[in-house]
Amino acid sequence: MKNGKKIVLALLLVLTMSIGLLSGCGSTDSSKKETTATAEATSSTDSATMPEVTWATEPKEGDAIDEEVDVTVTFNNDEIEVTGDNAKSMTSVKDTTLTITKAGTYVISGTLKDGRIVVDTEDEEKVKIILNGVMLSNDSTSAVYVVSAPKEVILSANKNSVNIISDGEEYDESDESGAAIYAKDDLQLSGKGSLYVTGNYKKGIVSKDDLHIKNLSLYVKADDDAIRGKDSVSVENAYIYAEAEQDGIRSSNETDTEKGDIEITDSEIYLTVKQDGIQSVRNLTLTNTKAVIDAQGEETKSTETKSSETKSSETKSTENKSTDTAKESSTESSSGSDSSSTTGDLGELKSQGGMGQKPGNGEKPSGGGGPKNGEKPDDSQMPQNGEKPDDSQMPENGEKPEDGQMPEGNQNAEGGQDNPMAEFDSQGTSSQGLQAVGTMTVTGGNITILDSTEGLEASKIVVEDATFHITATDDGINAATDDSSVTPTFIMNSGYIVISAEGDGVDTNGDATIKGGTLLIYGPTNGGNGALDYDSGFKVEEGATVLAVGSSGMAQGFSESSASLEFTCDVEAGDIMSIQDSDGNVVCTFEAPKNYQCVVFTSPDITKGEEYTVYTGGSVDGDNTDGIYEDGSYKGGSTIGTVTAK
């Protein structure tokens, strides 16, 4: 969320009218096809819920093992039995600690209390450990500890087996490990069985090098991060369910610029966390993946914001009584029009790109330039019904606001510097659904972010044929960086994105380009944010559909589009809005879950220069998907004015 958006004035005209048939908003994009995750195919426009998981309490052996095994290990509560021709030369046993010293394939089964598996070898070949019905716990340190393995350690859950690993709640101060499974070298978790890991002390799984997760059903609970790979994390064809007090999946190498990527492919991910769902210190790539993330964040909104929102809602409720009376008096008409009605123009939204410029990065309008956050303009600031704002109320096309209206320099209203990557300050803990310092690329798949401070955050965000449902207490999508040499950007090539944000819907400290697909934004209700917020530009190419509604106090329209409708209004949550062309064809009918005073809309059905009539109220007997009515009929509405497509 940035400050630095300009104030626009609202104009509301209420006239009675009725309307006929309707359609959805724009054409159906090819991105609404079915995408396949690991376990099931889901419609790309569907949001998802968190599954109910019953934590395993008993181990279970799986199928017969059909590969060559060097050593067989059996756990028997407080004893370890090792068999195999080279067992003594490849392992050592001391009390309840098994140490593997040679490369090879090991099969382990049984239950071991307060035990440990240690891998410490200088061999250049892989160490593969097949878990076949293992329950391993340790009271005071990590249960699995890889000290040295130059090639890689593979921890594999045998097909159809159930395996359970946990550590203790307290470690010795000198203990360098801090996870139930801890590896200093590369670690691969794989197999077609199940692995349950509980990090009672801090983290669940840690690799200080690369961490690979493949073909595995992995369940993790952690008192810190659930899954962390310092140099990289790669997930392929896996099912991951994690609950964490901090991050769900994270990379952490901040010093080597060539390391720290996270890549997830053809997988299902379910994360309930208190901080970030997935956090990469470099790049984050998701391909054909289904993810559900609840990044709870424990954030709290400021008292000022809450009180202003409440005041705005109470004022609006009183003012809308006259509107409701007008709606009740409107008559239904199957033709969708009433020739006796007179329509006026809606309030005009001044946007960047030939219609007045936005303040510089990090700036807010001065206190005397308009209404306060969450408040409506008073009579001196608001044009009378039926009138457009005069020249003194709006900057001319292409002009910037006059000097004195904006603060100087890259400062916010309080005089501080705008830091787009800052934490959620004193209001609470920041929690992102998906976060990357570098580039975030999401191709295919279905991502649902149930709760977050910000849904997506990266310096560059690219969406290709993917579906998102994002809920955020701050920005839904935030393209930002603290690297002055990088221009933040958001690019949507295709796909389907639905955002519900209390901050900005899409916020880019650089630019945004929507090349195709459907983007639906149900933005803020407070005047300090906008459905769209950008510095350099927000371009929508022909063929894309974007509907952005929210508060008008800091609103922006598109900087460039083939044709768009941009206007201010005053509509309550749950009221239906329908937009109809001059021939009575409906181009969009929707029902927003929040109050809004600004609409920015474009679709392939909008023609530049054509006049459109906007209706509110009434009822629809069609199906509602993410607020959009795709079919059915609309009746009993009232016109609030006309708007000409830019």
Report residue 530 as tokens: 């906008």
**Where on the phi/psi map is residue 566: left (φ > 0), alpha (ψ -120 to 50), or beta?**
beta
Q: Where are the alpha helices (DSSP H) in 231-375?
A: 303-329
What pLDDT score was predicted for residue 631? 82
Identify the band that residue 349 occupies on the pLDDT scale cut at 50, 70 and 90. low
Mean pLDDT of the chain: 80
pLDDT in tens, 8-55: 323 333 323 333 333 468 543 333 333 223 333 333 466 689 999 999
Whether pLDDT at 367 is above 80: no
Identify the band that residue 154 occupies on the pLDDT scale cut at 50, 70 and 90. very high
Report residue 417 as tokens: 């510097």
Helix (H/G/I), strand (E/B), else coil: 501: strand
How far is Cα 638 from Cα 615, in angstroms, rounded to an integer? 5
How far is Cα 588 from Cα 32, in angstroms, rounded to an integer? 18
How far is Cα 136 from Cα 133, in angstroms, rounded to an integer? 10
Identify the band that residue 328 occupies on the pLDDT scale cut at 50, 70 and 90. very low
Q: Where are the alpha helices (DSSP H) in 153-195?
A: none
How far is Cα 437 from Cα 457, in angstroms, rounded to an integer? 8
Q: How many CA atoms lie within 13 A of 56 on its CB side?
A: 24
Whether pLDDT at 425 is above 50: no
pLDDT in tens, 83-93: 999 999 999 99
> Letter for the amino acid at 636?
G
Higher pLDDT, 373 or 113: 113
Report residue 32 as tokens: 């609404």
Report residue 108 as tokens: 């382990």
For the purposes of burial, counting CB atoms within 10 Å of the CB of 49, is it exposed (0-12), middle (13-18) or buried (19 or more)?
A: exposed
Report residue 341 as tokens: 């009605």
> Letter for the amino acid at 632?
G
